[in-house]
Amino acid sequence: MRFAVFLSALLFVLGCGGGGGTSTGSQVRELGDSCQAGATSAVLSYSTRWGSSPSAASQVIQVVTASGLVVRSDSIDRSGDAASSLEMTGVPAGVYELRVTLYSGSSASGSILGASSQVVDLCSGRLSASTVNSSAQRSLEIRPQKAELREGQSRRFVATARDAVGSAVFLPPGSVTWSVTGGLGTMDSSGLLRTTKPGAGEVRAANSQGRFVARSPLTVQDFVPVRTKWTILVYMNAASDLHPASVLNMNQMETVAGNPQVRFVVQWKQSRTRYPSSSFDGVRRYLVKPDSTSAIGSELLDSDMVDGQGFAVDMGQVETLRQFVQWGKTNFPSDRTVLVLWSHGNGWARKPESDGRAFSYDDQYGTAIQLWQMQPGLAGLDVDVIAWDASLMQQAEVAFEVRKLAQYVVGSEESPPADGYPYDRVFRVFRDGPDKATNVLCRAFADGMVASPPYATRKITQSVIETAQLEDLATALDVLGLELQANVGSLSEAVPSVRSLAQSYSRNSVRQYYDIVDLCIRLEADARVPGSVMAAAATVRARVADAVDYERHNAQSPGSHGLAIDFSPGSTFSGLALDYGLLELAGDTSWDEWLKIAP
């Protein structure tokens, strides 16, 4: 598991848009547009007239990005007043949806009386916006005013009812209906368009009485995949307590997304059901775009992804991972591909406190992907690099399980900090030198982790494994396992001693993970260990050196050499043996037989 330690729950943003006021120039910026220049933060002055709402009514005011991320949220109570106002300061400059919900009771209690949405352009640094609870609707506007999209792309539209002086009017929930002509896609009740085929048509918004209809011309172009040098596929399962780090990592990717030959494609999940402070709810896909602000300026490719029953996609299923990899490789083909698996991890084993296994824990459903599902689940979808942005995954058991899926496996023997990879440091090397050899570029994962200042006092390990060398390592481990079994009677003191001294990783009553090389060095140095075991251990060390293409660690994990293994005593392993037996390393070597009897 990446350690979920945060100083605060930070909210970040995405995108830009105008409305509820006049843009400072002739340009009309739409939701999702970027601010070209000017202020980096803004003040939103909000005012409302309560009209006939109850004297105890209240409102929740949210500033929301194009992808649905809530940047800022506030509330006001009527307290019998005819009008109220507030100022939201320090909002990152951008174009947003201003979403206001009117409640019958104080502090957002009671029933929902109405809702209002409008696009607000905060690129100039300050804007005033107003709402009114009134039946005097005079118009219905739609934003964007027109849209040009690619086939398969999503876009959120906003409908605003206005009165005669331009204030946004509260409408009963669900009173705006959406449609798209020409069979170009589908619209949901929130105004999200998913395009399905090329052509020309329009998006329409209408109120429930049909009195007002707003139209936005729509053009959908064919999506033509373009081949590049690199595609970085990031399977970011943040339906966990790691969700704040996912926003940080997206921002880091955006700072180094400037080379069109190195593309980041992200499938990103958060769950407000389990973690209310999550910045959005559901599963989305993004093509990462350059952005240097704390906002998320990436291109939203798909939003609110659901399964066949209409529920948010479960990212704790290997089939979901397969669909993402297949979709990413088809739509964003490249000469070389990195698959980043972003989540909590637990090495080869089950998570001790649940039935979850291995990695990609989706806390909305209590699921996780089993390590032994990877080879059959991703067969035929080979990538060049698998990078584990998760804890404890750089193990012989793990690497051997995925050896047929990638040329290189990158990861940590340790449990890294919650923020995971410093994506800006790592992928700056890919951006600036995409033609370099794959293993040379992979070294940036290790160098970036060790060089990250916030990680100086944390346990940091990172290595690059060449999977072509793992068969020879497995053969050496098989021999060592056999020698340990044959000499178990003389190892009752030496093995526990070696175990107590060797470099371990997040050791507890279940996890007994140790650096392979450090184990072997200590076996070879212990006079109580028979010579045949020492010789076998020396061979294992040599094969690990062949397999580990590059390794870095800091002073907090001094005995690290790039690859760990389970070295449990038999009393611990007995409860894990059935699971371990599902691993390919267990099937191809005698290591599990040794663990069953290890002192």
Average pLDDT taken over every residue of the chain: 91
**Rounded distance, CA 29 to CA 37, Å?**
13
3-state class of 277 per DSSP?
coil
pLDDT in tens, 207-240: 876 689 999 999 999 989 999 999 999 999 999 9
CB 390 within 8 A of CB 345: yes
The pLDDT, as a whole number, for residue 209 is: 64
Segment 39-52 mean pLDDT: 92
User: Given pLDDT bands bounded at 50, 70 and 90, which one contains residue 5?
Assistant: very low
Structure-block tokens of residue 228: 């590049």
Q: How many CA atoms lie within 13 A of 550 on its CB side?
A: 18
**Rounded distance, CA 571 to CA 55, Å?**
68
pLDDT in tens, 144-165: 999 999 998 888 899 999 999 9
pLDDT in tens, 551-575: 999 999 999 999 999 999 999 999 8
pLDDT in tens, 125-139: 899 999 999 878 899
- CATH code for the part of the protein at 12-132: 2.60.40.10
Closest CA to 339 of 359, 355, 356: 359
CB 513 within 8 A of CB 392: yes
Residue 454 preceded by cis peptide, ω within 30? no
**Angle, alpha carbons 388-392-394 (nearest 5°):** 60
- Tokens 């002192």 found at: 599
Structure-block tokens of residue 450: 């060790």
Domain coordinates in residue numbering, the chain: 12-132, 472-597
**Rounded distance, CA 388 to CA 409, Å?**
8
**Rounded distance, CA 387 to CA 390, Å?**
9
Q: Where are the beta strands (DSSP E) in 78-125?
A: 83-92, 95-103, 112-121
Closest CA to 420 of 314, 345, 504, 512: 345
**Rounded distance, CA 44 to CA 90, Å?**
9
Structure-block tokens of residue 452: 């990250």
**Rounded distance, CA 583 to CA 372, Å?**
6
List of residues 6+ apart from 545 with CB closer than 8 A: 517
> pTM for this one?
0.84
Segment 308-321 mean pLDDT: 92
The pLDDT, as a whole number, for residue 250 is: 96
List of residues 6+ apart from 512 with CB closer than 8 A: 499, 504, 566, 567, 568, 569, 572, 573
pLDDT in tens, 440-472: 999 999 999 999 999 999 999 999 999 999 999
**Rounded distance, CA 353 to CA 68, Å?**
33
